[in-house]
Structures are given as C-alpha cells and as structure tokens.
Homo-oligomer: A and B are copies of this chain.
Amino acid sequence: MEVQVRPEEQSNTNSYVLQLNKVRIEDPYWSEYIRLVRDVIVPYQWEALNDRIPEAEPSYAVRNFKIAAGEEQGEFGGMVFQDSDVAKWLEAVGYLLATGPDPELERVADGVVDLIARAQQEDGYLNTYFTLKEPDRRWSNLAECHELYCAGHMIEAAVSYYNATGKRKILDVVCKFADYIDTVFGTEPGKLQGYDGHQEIELALVKLYRTTGNDRYLKLSRYFLDQRGSQPHFYLEELEKRDGAVHFPQLDIAHDHAYSQSHRPVRQQDKAEGHAVRVVYMTTAMADVAAQTGDAELLQACRKLWRNIVSKQMYITGGIGSMAHGEAFSFDYDLPGDTAYAETCASIGLIFFARRMLEIEPIGEYADVMERALYNTVVSGMSRDGKKFFYVNPLEVHPDACGKNHIYDHVKPERQGWFGCACCPPNIARLLASLGEYIYTVRDRTVYAHLYIGGQAVFELDGQAVRIEQQSAYAWEGKTRMVVHTDIPTRFKLALRLPSWCGGRETLLLNGQPYAYEDADLEAGYAGIDRVWSDGDTLEIMFDMQVRRMKGHPHVRDAFGKTALQYGPFVYCMEEADNGPNLHQLCLPSGGKFAVRFNPDLLGGVNVIETTVIRRASEEWQDDLYRENSLAALNSEPLTGSFIPYFAWANRSVGEMAVWIRDC
C-alpha cells in the first residue's frame, strides 16, 4: 500500500515537537549519556540480540526472526515478547541515525529491516513467537501474550527508522501489519473485540498516523483505548475460549483486571492502578489521541490520572510503582522507600506521558515531573559505564536485607548486567537517543523551553528558520545561555519553564542587561519573552541554586518526620561509602548550613552536599534488644554528612543508601 506521508508538523494540533534531526545535543551532563547509548549500549544490545554475550543468557531474538523467515532451523527461544527487543534496538538506532550519520550502523540496521520483512507473513502478520510456536493461536491470549505490544514496538521502530533514513521498507512492513490488525480488531461484527494486556500499540499507532497521515491508524488506536475495560470482559471470554490455559499463572491476568487497567473503561479511570508501565503507556496514548482528535473527555481522564500519579503515587525521585507484586501502583500516599519498585521503565513512560501533556497544554508541572524522573530515576537506572542497570529504584537500601528478608527480593544493591529479555536498558537507550524530542515544544510562534539541555535546535517560526543554541550548565550550576541565530530579525515568544525547585527566584540577562518579564508574561510556570529576536541575541538564565530541604505530604508515612535534599534538578541521598553503615541512626538538624562542592573526581563529577548531621548510637547495648529509656542513652555525635545525587548511588561499593533522612 502506498502511504501518504505528511511532516509531523502538519498534524491537526497546532503544537508539535521537533523532529530529532532538527536538534543536536551538546551538553556537559547529557552528552556523555548519549555517547554511552551510541558507543556502548546499542552495540552491546546488538551482540546480546545475536546471543554473542557469554555472560548473558541467550536472547534468541534475531535467531527467532531468522527461523521465522525460513533461513534457519530451530525452535523459538525467549519470552513471548522477545520480538520487542529487536524493535527497541531498531528504534534507538533510528534516533541515533537521525542525530548523526553512522553508515556501518545503518548497514546493520538495514539488514535487520530486511530480516524482519522476510519474517513477515503473507497476510501482514508479524510475530515470531506465534508464527513459530502457536501458528494456529494468533490473538488467542491477548491478556498475556504481548502480541499487539510487540506490534506496537515494531511500529515505533519503523517510524523512528523511516524518519531518520527516509527508507520506506520497514514503514511498509508495519503499515501492512497494522492494516491487517485493523481487519482483525474492532467493534464491527465478526471482528475480535480485544485489546492487548500490555498497552503499547495505542501510542505506536498514533505515531504511525502522524507519520503516514492515514487516519485508519488513529481510529484503531482509539478503538483499542476505548475497548479496554468494556463488559463483558474480553479476557474472561478469551480465557474460556482457550479452556483456561494461561502463560503466567502467578499473575492471574485474566481475572486481575486492574493489573492491565481493564477494570473499567479508561475514560472512567481516575486513579493509577496496576502495572505502572502499562498505566503510563496507556495515558501517553490517551493524551496522543486527545491531542489529535480534540477528545475533551479523554483529555480530562488524562488530567485526572496525571493528578493522581504525581500528587499521590510518585516518589520524590520521579519513580512510580510502590510494590514489586505486579510491578504496580498500590494506593494513595503509599510510598515505602525500601520496598519500592519504581521501575526505570515506568519513569520513562511517565516522561512520555508528560511530554504528550506538554504538547496539549504547556504547564510547568508536566515538565517539572519530566525533569524529576529524567534526572533521578532514569539516570539512576544506568551505571556510569553504561553496562549495568537498575530495573528497581528504591529510595532506601539495606544490602544485608536483600536475600534475607524476602520483602526485598526485588531489590538489588548493585546494578545488574543485561538480562535475556531486558526491558529497562533498551528503554533507557531509546529515551536518551531521542532526548532531543523532550527539550522544546512549539505552538504557533511560541517556543516552549522545557528542559535546559545544551545544544542547538532549528525552528520554523512564521516561516522563518530560527536556530536556538543553548550553552547549558543547568545540571550542576542551574544556569544556561540561549543564543538566537536568525537571518532576519523575527518575532516569536520564547517561553521559559521556571523549574518549581527554583521557587520563582531566577535572574535573566538579555544581551547582558537584567531583564524582567511582566507578570502577564508568566503563565503556568513559563515566563514568556515575546519580542523581535535578532541574530546573536543572548539570554542568560540563572536559577536560584539553594539546597532545598524537601518534605513529603503528611500522609506519606515513609517520608514523615524526614527530609530529602534537592539541589537543582537532582534529589540527593546518603551512601554508606561516605557516611558509614546504619544510616537510620543519622538525623539532620533543622538549622544546619550546607556546603556544596563540585567534585570532578567523584562519580564522573558531581556536586556533593555536606552538612552537619547527628549520629545517635551506642556501643554499650550489648545483648539487650529493648531497654527502658533511662538506660538506653545514645551518644549524639555531630559529624559531617555527605550527600551525593541519587542517580549516582551504587557506583562504588555495595552499601546502604537513603534518600529520606530523619529530622532532629
């Protein structure tokens, strides 16, 4: 089928994000992470996909495609969603190629595209698990088998690769697949009224719609969203059809509908429940469809779910998912630090969701949360060398407890190597490789700057190309400099997010002169500077960098009577490496002064916060486990407590870590 391609800017909203090839990141903090994606993670993942990493269990992912293409003999290997690993790799490759040529990488990726195309079935179907293992059981277990989830990832990969290279082959493959899916699913008689247990295809179909302009995909996305949670329940019906056969009996997905957000129609959901990644992938798609269609009810549901997540179920690190069981949300204000799940992928999904909401309504809170998740949980997910990963991001870790008290079975005190099917590492890779999409959005002739990441971006404003260059020292110094490059003076509004952490205390210099915006120019956390910009105009922005003592809502038990430190976008923690064991014995006096010192030799260069803390301890307890207060005297020893950014923890020795420190 010949698809009609429209540039992303032409979608029927007046807000858009820049195509990746319009943005180049050169940032003292982020460039190194993106280099790791290009030089370490993506090449490593390619080896992993081809089962060439001796210390990792085989992926089988590429091999599965070869077998499905009839080019190799063998059995399917890996999880039912193994195909998605190939797709995520290809998606990340697309982003990398969009931001910088790499002929060798492109050659490898072209080969993968060819292989995928050869593995596609005549009718468009593409899924190696079912093709190889259960060819007669396509679409028989949507609740558990990730068939449409894998399709979604393949679509995202195709859009990314097509946008980067202009090569249509993989786009044609997924369009054929999506067209076929569209013949299978829907409310029309004879169609399956199903939807996937793991949301993903919904957001992918909107991308495909935006790339091809074919509104069949938008409608299909909306169908999948609206079908979820309808009655009679599809997962019960399909369970009965397959005589009760299940893949993951420990989860009971067919009956635990909240796990997959199918406990009620998505428009009626006002509380994040169940598997956290699924929630935010779903809300991302809901926001996408709302943006494309102007569906006010869907947008309202997005706003409610957003409000619930960020006001009641989000860790201060931007982590979401308070429990390991089901990798899921638990309930309002339940944010235990030590048993947190806070999966890296869930924070990535939260960033997806926030970016979509920013496209719809530029409100600072969306970008604040995006920044919180990005600078803390997402970066925490990866070691400094790009080779080890956290899936789970607790706020308090006691290595002694791991493996001994089973409530901590999911908590690792060290980042882990690549898994056989690893969700978080490729998700980090695709997010960081596409980070350029998260810095700005454009609406009419307003450029919204959400993140202060150094580099260049080219905008078309009133028909005029304008290049904005950011020289950013935001991460460690809270400041950035924006230089406008334009052939002719151009009027546009530059709307600067004022991060919530700076408390409205920022300093602006326009061409070296103090600049004060009018109250009227402040809107929803953005200060708008609406003027005719000439080439070379320079705006310096200095946010007030103070160590912030952060408190949790009084209903959050785990944060009550405690303080977390934040400096700039970073949440801080204490580690045993700096402060000794038994961190619970430390408390933070209320009036203490903070000394912030950038240590270039520590953890790749971080700001360290030092302040007086009190350790209350005793060497005299011996065998008593409980004592009367009068006999239980503890020494109060003041000492210099050292705090490092949360993301940098667990890069030295195995030890305790704590974000929330007791007040004293």
Interface, chain A (partner B; CB < 8 A): 307, 310-312, 314, 316, 322-326, 330-331, 334, 336, 339, 398, 400-401, 404-407, 409, 501, 503, 548-557, 560-561, 563-564, 582, 584-585, 587, 616-618, 621, 623-630, 632, 634, 662
Q: Which residues of B contact A401 (CB under 8 A)?
A: 330-331, 334
By the criterion CB–CB under 8 Å, are A404 and B331 in contact?
Answer: yes
Complex alpha-carbon distance, A548 and B631, angstroms: 11
By the criterion CB–CB under 8 Å, are A325 and B503 in contact?
Answer: no
By the criterion CB–CB under 8 Å, are B553 and A339 in contact?
Answer: no
The residue that A405 contacts in the complex, of B322, B398, B555, B623, with Cβ under 8 A, is: B322
The residue that A553 contacts in the complex, of B501, B554, B563, B626, with Cβ under 8 A, is: B626
With known contacts A311-B623, A617-B554, A625-B310, A404–B582 Cβ distance under 8 A: no
The residue that A552 contacts in the complex, of B407, B560, B626, with Cβ under 8 A, is: B626
By the criterion CB–CB under 8 Å, are B322 and A628 in contact?
Answer: no
Complex alpha-carbon distance, A480 and B564, angstroms: 52
| 20 more A-B residue pairs beyond the given contacts A330-B405, A501-B628, A550-B626, with a C-beta to C-beta distance below 8 A | A310-B625, A312-B625, A314-B625, A323-B406, A323-B407, A324-B407, A330-B401, A330-B404, A336-B405, A336-B407, A548-B629, A550-B628, A551-B629, A554-B616, A554-B617, A555-B582, A557-B584, A560-B584, A560-B616, A561-B616
Q: Which residues of B contact A584 (CB under 8 A)?
A: 557, 560
By the criterion CB–CB under 8 Å, are B623 and A307 in contact?
Answer: yes
How far in angstroms is the closest Cβ of chain B from A276? Answer: 13
With known contacts A334-B401, A557-B584, A563–B629 Cβ distance under 8 A: yes
By the criterion CB–CB under 8 Å, are B334 and A621 in contact?
Answer: no
The residue that A554 contacts in the complex, of B325, B555, B634, with Cβ under 8 A, is: B634
By the criterion CB–CB under 8 Å, are A311 and B624 in contact?
Answer: yes
By the criterion CB–CB under 8 Å, are B554 and A400 in contact?
Answer: no
Q: Which residues of B contact A400 (CB under 8 A)?
A: 331, 334
Complex alpha-carbon distance, A336 and B621, angstroms: 20
Between A and B, 19 residue pairs with Cβ closer than 8 Å are: A323-B405, A324-B406, A325-B405, A325-B407, A325-B409, A326-B406, A331-B405, A336-B407, A407-B407, A548-B628, A548-B629, A551-B627, A551-B629, A552-B625, A553-B626, A554-B621, A555-B582, A556-B625, A561-B587
How far in angstroms is the closest Cβ of chain B from A284? Answer: 21
Residue from the set A323, A550, A551 with the largest chain B CB neighbour count within 10 Å: A551
How far in angstroms is the closest Cβ of chain B from A633? Answer: 9
How far in angstroms is the closest Cβ of chain B from A275? Answer: 13
By the criterion CB–CB under 8 Å, are A618 and B311 in contact?
Answer: no
Report copies per complex. 2
With known contacts A314-B625, A549-B629, A628-B551, A339–B561 Cβ distance under 8 A: no
By the criterion CB–CB under 8 Å, are B334 and A405 in contact?
Answer: yes
How far in angstroms is the closest Cβ of chain B from A541? Answer: 20
Query: Closest residue to A311 on the B side, CB-wise?
Result: B623
Complex alpha-carbon distance, A563 and B629, angstroms: 8
By the criterion CB–CB under 8 Å, are A550 and B407 in contact?
Answer: no
Complex alpha-carbon distance, A506 and B317, angstroms: 54
Q: Which residues of B contact A553 (CB under 8 A)?
A: 621, 624-627
Complex alpha-carbon distance, A330 and B330, angstroms: 24
Q: Which residues of B contact A585 (CB under 8 A)?
A: 554, 560
How far in angstroms is the closest Cβ of chain B from A194? Answer: 28
Q: Which residues of B contact A564 (CB under 8 A)?
A: 626
Complex alpha-carbon distance, A551 and B627, angstroms: 5
Complex alpha-carbon distance, A663 and B324, angstroms: 31
Complex alpha-carbon distance, A39 and B406, angstroms: 40
How far in angstroms is the closest Cβ of chain B from A177? Answer: 37
Complex alpha-carbon distance, A662 and B312, angstroms: 23
Q: Which residues of B contact A630 (CB under 8 A)?
A: 549
How far in angstroms is the closest Cβ of chain B from A122? Answer: 43
Query: Closest residue to A365 on the B side, CB-wise?
Result: B623
How far in angstroms is the closest Cβ of chain B from A622? Answer: 8
Q: Which residues of B contact A323 (CB under 8 A)?
A: 405-407
Q: Which residues of B contact A404 (CB under 8 A)?
A: 330-331, 334
Complex alpha-carbon distance, A339 and B618, angstroms: 26
Complex alpha-carbon distance, A549 and B633, angstroms: 12
Complex alpha-carbon distance, A307 and B616, angstroms: 25
By the criterion CB–CB under 8 Å, are B551 and A632 in contact?
Answer: yes
Complex alpha-carbon distance, A563 and B634, angstroms: 14
Query: Closest residue to A250 on the B side, CB-wise?
Result: B250
How far in angstroms is the closest Cβ of chain B from A263? Answer: 14
Query: Closest residue to A551 on the B side, CB-wise?
Result: B632
By the criterion CB–CB under 8 Å, are B311 and A550 in contact?
Answer: no
By the criterion CB–CB under 8 Å, are A407 and B626 in contact?
Answer: no
Complex alpha-carbon distance, A257 and B6, angstroms: 65
Q: Which residues of B contact A662 (CB under 8 A)?
A: 560-561
Q: Which residues of B contact A336 (CB under 8 A)?
A: 405, 407
Q: Which residues of B contact A618 (CB under 8 A)?
A: 554
How far in angstroms is the closest Cβ of chain B from A504? Answer: 12
